[in-house]
Amino acid sequence: MTVRIGTRASKLALTQTQQTADQLAAVGGFPVELVHIKSDGDVLTGSLSQMGGTGVFVAALRDALLRNECDVAIHSLKDLPTGLAVGLSLAATPRRVDVRDVLCARDGLKLAELPRNAKVGTGSPRRAAQLRSARPDLDIVDIRGNVDTRLGRVPGLPGNPTTEVVTGKSCDLDAVVLAAAGLERINRLDAVTEFLDTDIMLPAAGQGSLAIECRTADAPPRAGSAEGSREVLAQALAALDDPDTRLAVTAERALLARLEAGCAAPVGAYAYRKGSLLHLEAVVCAVDGTASVRDKRATDGLTEVGATLLGIELAEVLLAAGAADIADLQAS
């Protein structure tokens, strides 16, 4: 049996998919092959938030699974919509890596050191809102492209192929903000000038995590469910699942679902287990950075049900504090 693993063809997607494929093959003892799937997000241009947010990268992979063009799909979990996909299951959440966002700036500058009106690029409304809150004087520029393309917008960063200033293409920004996890996976952490503390910028729900999705009939059985499989693929997927990561992302995604927050809504959420408690902190921001509501809660219910209830509880707290009034939570 060869397990076909669906992936987007970007450098980051291929890298994280190959790493996961190697782990699956080692655990399951079966050969694997990568199947390249092209999504609308890879083809269309324009603002990502106007195209439906990061969820546009997921739809084509899900369709490929349902059409039996691949057996497993690997996503960045922060791209995965909170709504259920009929016939598919989140089969594994491997151990999470660094959740933080990072600043990659010219001349080694940190966020506090950027000059007034410095141009900072990001395609994320969540990052843009929190940047504007921390530094209202910055000029936030909406950008698209893969990791190398974004880093190429900042002059002097290690690994950049050119020093030519071309507006909209290369060396025309003072800094960009990206996820530490993505840079780590493609060995570009040398471009980071500051790891942004979660006090300044809460990550996207699921950031730093991967999602391994498959058809429900092929997935490991979940507690209390008769659906699933006990075949070798399911056993390998179960072995890659990290329980603490699953608890954390379950809480974060439950919060998003209760807020009814779309992919482009300016919401940050971060959950983590510490001892006998699961902690969750979240923020909802106005896109212009002028207002926000932020709070945190914890639970000793270390089950998926407990994590879900924690996310719902914190969402209710944020809604009661006016989250829906300051942000377009339904932004697609």
pLDDT digits (tens, 9 = 90+) for 231-244: 999 999 999 999 99
Q: What ranges make up the beta strands (E) of the chain?
A: 3-7, 32-36, 72-76, 88-92, 101-105, 119-122, 139-142, 175-179, 194-195, 210-215, 267-274, 277-285, 292-299
**CA 183 from centroid of its chain's CA atoms:** 13
Q: What is the mean pLDDT of residues 106-133?
A: 97
Q: What is the mean pLDDT of residues 279-300?
A: 96
pLDDT reported for residue 51: 43
d(CA 160, CA 156): 7
Rg value, the chain, Cα = 20
Confidence band for 40, pLDDT divided at 50, 70 and 90: low
| More confident: 54 or 7 | 7
Cα 71–Cα 72–Cα 74 angle in degrees, nearest 5: 155
Active site residues: 79
Confidence band for 46, pLDDT divided at 50, 70 and 90: low
pLDDT digits (tens, 9 = 90+) for 249-265: 999 999 999 999 877 78
**CA 62 from centroid of its chain's CA atoms:** 17
The tokens for 262 are: 């779309």
Q: Confirm if 143 and 197 have CB atoms less than 8 A apart.
A: no
Coil, helix or strand for 184? helix
* pLDDT of 204 above 80: yes
Confidence band for 64, pLDDT divided at 50, 70 and 90: very high
pLDDT reported for residue 227: 76
Q: Phi, psi at residue 16, to the nearest 5°?
A: -70, -30
* C-alpha distances out from residue 138 to 111, 166, 181, 289, Å: 10, 21, 25, 11
Neighbours of 70 (CB within 10 A): 22
The tokens for 186 are: 């493609």
* pLDDT of 48 above 80: no
* pLDDT of 53 above 80: no
88-92: strand order across its sheet: 32-36, 3-7, 72-76, 210-215, 88-92
d(CA 181, CA 189): 9
Confidence band for 38, pLDDT divided at 50, 70 and 90: confident
